[in-house]
Amino acid sequence: MKHRFPSITLGLPEWMDDSVPHGGVTLTSADARMEFVIMLSKRNVEEGTGGPFGAAIFERDSGRLIAPGVNRVVPASCSVAHAEMMAIMVAQQVLGVFDLGGEGLPACELVTTTEPCAMCLGAIPWSGVRRLVCGARKEDAEAHGFDEGDRVVRWVDALAGRGIDVIQDVRREEAAEVLRQYNAMGGLMYNGRLGDG
């Protein structure tokens, strides 16, 4: 039976399979994990498969990759499909859980090339991750034309109060450079409402 309202299907780009070695990825330092997601953000722009943002869910302690994510807003016709949201949703599908912090699971962390916008920040406590690792800052995103939305000012403290540690400025300049290049080449600024009124 055809349903009146469509399902939503969100997938990672075709090239993701050959960006992740067979046998998986294990990266033990925050620096190496950030290098990996910056590579994803660059490739997403080069391949024309979305905006200049990459993210991933790793097991915090072992460094095993659970799920990568890249921005898919324009190709998926979905304003929710930020890199962090994709990584969270794919990781939850991989593990078959709505809570990455549930009983019996290894602690998970979210690594993202740019500090999360208001939506992604709000999604983090519900996802179950225990640590957030960020590259570029909000100021970098804004300097290159992106809108991070209305976040609580003391968001690092707010996450800490929920048992979620935050590490900032990992490979910050390199992460910000991807944003600068996207802006300089005239990449579509898809945040917010484009119509008048």
Closest listed residue to residue 183, CA positions, set 150, 133, 149, 136: 136
Are the CB atoms for 89 and 40 separated by under 8 Å?
no
Which of residues 26, 29, 126, 142 is near a copy of itself by CB under 8 A? 126
| Contact with a copy of itself (CB under 8 A) among 45, 70, 121, 134 | 121
Residue 84 appears among annotated catalytic residues: yes
Site for a copy of itself in 132-191 (CB under 8 A): 147, 149-152, 155, 158, 162-163, 190-191
Helix (H) or strand (E) holding 176, with range, is helix 172-184
Between 54 and 171, whose beta carbon lies closer to a copy of itself? 54
Label the pairing between strands 108-114 and 54-59: antiparallel
- With CB under 8 A as the contact rule, which of the stretches 32-40, 79-87, 137-145, 175-183 interacts with a copy of itself? 79-87
Instruction: Work out how close the CB of 77 gets to a copy of itself at its nearest, in angstroms, rounded to a whole number.
Output: 5
HEC string for 137-154: CHHHHHHCCCCCCCCCCC
Half-sphere exposure (CA, 13 Å, Cβ side) for 119?
13
Residue 155 or 182: the one with the smaller Cβ distance to a copy of itself is 155
Between residues 68 and 135, which has the closer beta carbon with respect to a copy of itself? 68
Give 99 or 173: the residue with its C-beta nearer to a copy of itself: 99
111 Cβ contact partners less than 8 Å away, ≥ 6 residues apart: 30, 33, 34, 36, 37, 55, 56, 57, 58, 132, 133
- Among residues 32, 105, 167, 189, the one that binds a copy of itself under rule CB under 8 A: 105
Element (H, E) at 58: strand 54-59
Site string for a copy of itself, 49-68 (x = CB under 8 A): ------------------xx
